[in-house]
Structure 1
C-alpha cells in the first residue's frame, strides 16, 4: 500500500485507461468554455483556481488558501506569471505533457486565465477534481479503488 502525507492508505491500482492520448493535452488552451463555471471563476478570481490546482499538485502539503494568497501577492508585484509557470511545468512533468503552445511562463504571462482553465480541466480529465481539495480526492480514489492518476508506476514507496 502507498500512503499520502497523513498516512491515509490508498490501493496501488492503476486508474482506468484515459480516453485522452498519452503525452498530449486533453483540451486546447482556448477551450475555456468547456467548463463555463470554472472559466467565470478564473476570470474574476484566478487566485482561487490557482490555489486549487497547486493544492493537488503539491499533494496537499500546502492548502488551496495559502497557495491562492501567494499567487495573489505575486500577481500584485508583477510575478504571478512566473509562479503560475512553475506550477504549469510541475503539472506537465507529472502528466508527461508537452510544453505547448510556448514556454510555460510565457503562456501564463500572455493569458493566465486561459492557462489556469486548461490546467484545471487537465486535472479533472485525469481524475482529480481540484474543487474538492487533495484530501477529499484521496478519499474518493480510495472508495473507488484507485490511486492518484499522476503517480507513475515505480515512483511510489
Structure 2
C-alpha cells in the first residue's frame, strides 16, 4: 500500500509512527524504522512562487528589451521605484545604477539586491540560480524578467509608484483606452 521510497513516505504514516519528532536521531532511543524513512516528504513549490515568464523570454516585450539593452538604468530605475514603494524615485535609482555601471562596471551587485527584494515581496522562487549570479551573468535578461513580472501583475511601469497606487485605490485595473478620432 505504501511506497517504500523515502521521498514518497506518506505524511499520515509519519505522524502515526513518530508522535514526537524531537526524538528522531537520538541514539539512546530505539527507532522503529530506518532514519531515511522517518522524514517529511519534500514540499512541492506552488504555482504562486513561479515567475510569470522565463529569464530568456525577452522577446515577450521587445520594446522593453531594446530599452534595457541600450540603457539598463531606465529599466532598473522603474523596477527600483516600484520595489521600494516610491522612495527613492526612478530617476535617483537609475542614476546610482548608471554611475555604478560607468565607474565600476559592477552595477549587478546593486541590482541583485532589488531582485531579492522583489522575490521577497512577491514570494517568488530563486531561479534559475542565486540572484547575484543571475544578475552577474545575464544582467539585461534579469532586468527584463523583473520588469515583465511587475507588468504581468498589473503595474504600469511607465507611470511610477504613486500613480499605480492611485489606480489601485480607485479600482482601475487597466489603462484607459482612447477611441480613435472620427473620419469622414
Q: Once superposed, what is the RMSD of the aligned Cα atoms? A: 1.5
- Residue aligning to 1:137: 164
Displacement of 1:73: 1.2
How many pairs does the alignment contain? 127
Alignment partner of 2:154 out of 123, 127, 144: 127
Query: Considering only CA atoms, is the larger Rg found in Structure 1 or Structure 2?
Result: 2
For residues 33 and 132 of structure 1, what CA distance do their matches in structure 2 show? Answer: 22
* Greater Cα offset, 136-145 or 51-60: 136-145
Q: How does 1:34-113 map to 2 (within 5 A)?
A: 34-76=60-102, 77-113=104-140
For residues 61 and 68 of structure 1, what CA distance do their matches in structure 2 show? Answer: 12
Large movers: runs of 4+ above 6 Å: none
For residues 124 and 161 of structure 2, what CA distance do their matches in structure 1 show? Answer: 21
Q: Deviations over 1:77-101 (max 9, x none)?
A: 1221110100000000001111111
- Residue aligning to 1:33: 59
Q: Deviations over 1:38-58 (max 9, x none)?
A: 111001000000000000001
- Residue aligning to 1:115: 142
- TM-score, normalised relative to structure 1: 0.77
Displacement of 1:145: 6.6
Displacement of 1:61: 1.1
Gaps of 5+ in 1: 1-19, 147-157
Gaps of 5+ in 2: 1-45, 174-184
